[in-house]
Amino acid sequence: MTQWHNAEMIEATPEAMRVYLDRTGRPRVVFLCDGRVDCWDLDHGRKVFELPASGISDMLVIPGISALITTSDAALQLWDIDDGSLVNQIGNVPASCLCYYQVDGEQRLVTAGDSLIVWDPETLSEVHRIPNLHDGYVFRIVAYHTRDGLPRFATSGSDATIRLWDPTAGRVTDPLTHNIDDATHLASWQSPTDGPLLVTAQGSMASIGAAALTVWDPDAGQPLATHQLSHGWYSDVAAFTDADRRCRIIAGVEESCGELLDITVADQELAARTMTPAVGAANVVALWPQRDTEMRVLAAGALGPGPAGVSVVRL
């Protein structure tokens, strides 16, 4: 059910949204809209800061170093998560998207552009780079670990491929090929016993009425289950572990319906239920863990028949 709705946080169609805790433990949310990033206090519904930068293509929060990192055609920039002040930057690193992962207790940042570059996020120093094998633009990048604990990441590209990468060896596996046309959205999920899952979702008007969300075993490179829409297309996906230690997927659906899908993965089958947030369309979604082990979902949108803004949905 929708817990609350705030119509002031969104002025344009959001492209990305992240939830994090500041240094005092207060929940905040950052939005990427029209190349700019705003930060809001979730408890009080007030704007905390706006980054003095434009043309931003992606952002992420790395909790271990209390940093918000953004990328654009102009620069890779590291910002303080409390006040939005600029901490560090490096120019001439064009990249479309970001992710981070851990290896041997250290955090690593990955930017995807002409090359996939691995960075030390605290110093913004380059560790190594891998040639980008996508024939075109990289839409999304997510990180995961194999059953053996080795770091990997997956990318979706404008060449209609999903590629899996070994950042340590600097090599790429064969691309995934099942239901990946227009699969612009990616999410990963990690089980401590059963290994990783990868979620791909078709997210363009070309897939309207037949858009598929597919769950993969990335170690085997095989699809496990698929959920197909009868209307609209997927706008965003996120995954988390529920109280029963199962993979739960939250997916936004566009095309004037404003729906959220809550999908449970069990025994290689998908069970979906529909939620309707107060926003007109769930353009982007984010997960907000609670102290009581429950999960809240943030849905933000500015398109659709309902109002623009942000809804918090209790699962």
Model confidence at 293: pLDDT above 70? no
In 3-state terms, what secondary structure has residue 281?
Answer: coil
Angle at 202 (CA atoms; ends 199, 208), nearest 5 degrees: 145
Q: Which amino acid is at 166?
A: D
Report pLDDT for 305.
55
Spatial distance between the Cα atoms of 237 and 245, rounded to a whole number of angstroms:
19
Interatomic CA distance for residues 68 and 276, integer angstroms: 30
β strands within 255-294, DSSP E: 259-266, 269-275, 284-289
Q: Are 90 and 124 in contact (CB under 8 A)?
A: yes
251-266 per-position pLDDT tens digit: 988 765 567 889 999 8
More confident residue, 194 or 15: 15
131-154 residue pLDDT tens: 888 888 888 999 999 998 889 999
pLDDT range class, residue 79, cuts 50, 70, 90: very high
Q: What is the pTM of this model?
A: 0.90
Using the predicted structure, report yes or no on whether residue 88 has a pLDDT greater than 60: yes
Tell me the β-bridge partners of 130. 116
pLDDT tier at 32, thresholds 50, 70, 90? very high
Residue 303 to residues 282, 287, 311, Cα–Cα distance (Å): 8, 21, 14
Q: Per-residue DSSP letters for 208-264? A: TTT-EEEEEETTTTEEEEEEE-SSSEEEEEEEEE-TTS-EEEEEEEESS--EEEEEE
Report pLDDT for 36: 93
Q: Report the C-alpha gap between 5 and 229 in whole angstroms.
A: 26
How far is 207 from 312, CA to CA, in rounded Å?
Answer: 28
Percent of all residues in the chain with a pLDDT value above 90, rounded to a whole number = 40
**Whole-number Å distance between alpha carbons of 271 and 64:** 34
